[in-house]
Amino acid sequence: MVRSIPARINPDMLVWARETARVSLTNAAQRLEVTESQLYGWENGEPGLTIAKLQKVAEVYRRPLAAFFLSARPDVPERVRDFRRLPDTPESWGPNLASELRRAEQQRDAVVELLDLRNEPARSLWKSPSTAPAEDLTEEARLLLTRNSLAPRPTASSKPTDWFFFWSSALEEVGVLVVTMNRVNPSEARGFSIADDEVPVIAVNGSEHFNGRIFTLLHEYAHLLLNTSGLCDLHETRSGTRDQDSIEVECNRLAAEMLVPSKAFSKRSLLVHSDAVENDWPLGLLIDEGRFWGVSPEVILRKLVDTGRASRHFYQQWRDDTTPRDQEETWHAKTARKSGGDGLRTKVRNLGKGYVRLVVGTYNEGLLSTYETANLLSSKTNAIPKLLARAGAVESD
């Protein structure tokens, strides 16, 4: 029978696919519904692997079937440095995260090819603030983004989604590919960035609340400006033995300054008229101020620490006791929450609005076939105009 045709692959590619997918031999065998000894045997060239089972392997490892027939492992350098506090083991970098990193790089490569096809240079405005003096970096970056967003600047009564798309639109317009990770636990990674001079990438975690994604966007942009792209959890611990910790803390500081400039913040009534003492900042007060800037209450408390109006001990205790969900629910206490969603909206969210507009725009110019366009969007051909409509909308999720 067809399903029993032997798969005459390069067994080393089987090992490579599993290792790069960050799946252990035990876990892989369980998901493939075979024994560990069977899988180990296939990886060492023993017979028994069929085309039907290889298709399952390709699905689990998220690799094209053709990859297993290559004569040698592709020479693909690791471009993402791990800034997280998690130990650098396969268990701390799951298959979904590995897959999303590969997907982001594939989209980045597709953007480069599309720009070449359209005979357009890559936009490199995103890196212009990096040439400014250190004390002017955040101000130059903030002005660059606020001037280039396609979305109108939200007001204090706007939703976190409006603020997110204000900043993400700006990043797309200055030449950054913005994507959203799917099915990755925020405890594993909140975001990552790939600092590439031609087309850099920023990814946020779709499982996180929007006020968290806003901060992640600017944190990862700070990484790009410092040319220290990597995989991040945005932690606040500074260690003398890990330069990664110092870089994460610095990117947090830069992101907070881009979102809430200290000079303007110092004139706010929160600082001028508030009776709150350094270890007594109520959540409601922080939320009200956060709404004005379009940030989470945590960002406001971080700024209060920076200005000496709150102690770092209070901040750390508050951070441990107050979850992002607590902050988000309180933010929306007086706002009706939209429910549900659709697959096309989620797809646009994951791929990024700018990416979808670029792909469909190239298709509309007659430079891509319908099949090529659907393939780049991982969608059916009849969904192409619907995806463009979602990518042009103000809202998405």
- The 10s digit of each residue's pLDDT in 25-67 is 888 888 889 898 888 889 898 888 888 888 888 888 878 788 8
91 secondary structure, DSSP code: G
pLDDT reading at 262 higher than 80: yes
Written as one letter, the residue type at 341 is G
* Confidence at 76, pLDDT banded by 50, 70, 90: low
Position 331 scores a pLDDT of 43
Of 85, 89, 90, 92, residue with least CA distance to 241 = 85
Please state the rounded mean pLDDT for residues 184-190.
89
Asked if the model's pLDDT at residue 91 lies above 70, the reply is: no
| DSSP 8-state code for residue 203 | E
CA distances (Å), origin 149, targets 162, 255, 260, 354: 12, 17, 17, 12
Helices (H), 185-242: 210-226
pLDDT in tens, 331-343: 444 333 444 457 8
- The per-residue pLDDT for 240 is 47
Quote the tokens at residue 76: 């693909």
Q: Look over the chain and give the mean of its residue pLDDT values, rounded to a whole number.
A: 84
Which one, of 146, 155, 152, lies nearest residue 291 by Cα?
Answer: 155
Check residue 258 and give its pLDDT.
96
- Written as one string, the DSSP assignment of 165-186 is HHHHHHHHHTT-EEEEE-S--T
Range 188-191 contact pairs with CB under 8 angstroms and sequence separation of 24 or more: 188/86, 188/92, 188/93, 188/94, 188/97, 189/84, 189/97, 189/231, 189/232, 189/233, 190/216, 190/232, 190/233, 190/234, 191/216, 191/217, 191/219, 191/220, 191/232, 191/234
Q: pLDDT tens-digit profile of 114-151?
A: 999 999 999 999 999 988 888 899 999 999 999 999 98
Kindly state the percentage of the chain with pLDDT values over 70.
86
Closest CA to 356 of 101, 179, 122, 213: 179
Using CA atoms, how far apart are residues 290 and 301, in angstroms rounded to an integer? 9
Which residues fall within 8 angstroms of residue 236, CB to CB, at 6 or more apart? 248, 249, 252, 316, 319
Predicted confidence band of residue 5 (pLDDT cuts 50, 70, 90): confident
Q: Give the range with max mean pLDDT: 13-17, 35-39, 161-165.
A: 161-165
- Ranking 189-198, 227-236, 252-261, 268-277 by mean pLDDT, the lowest is 268-277
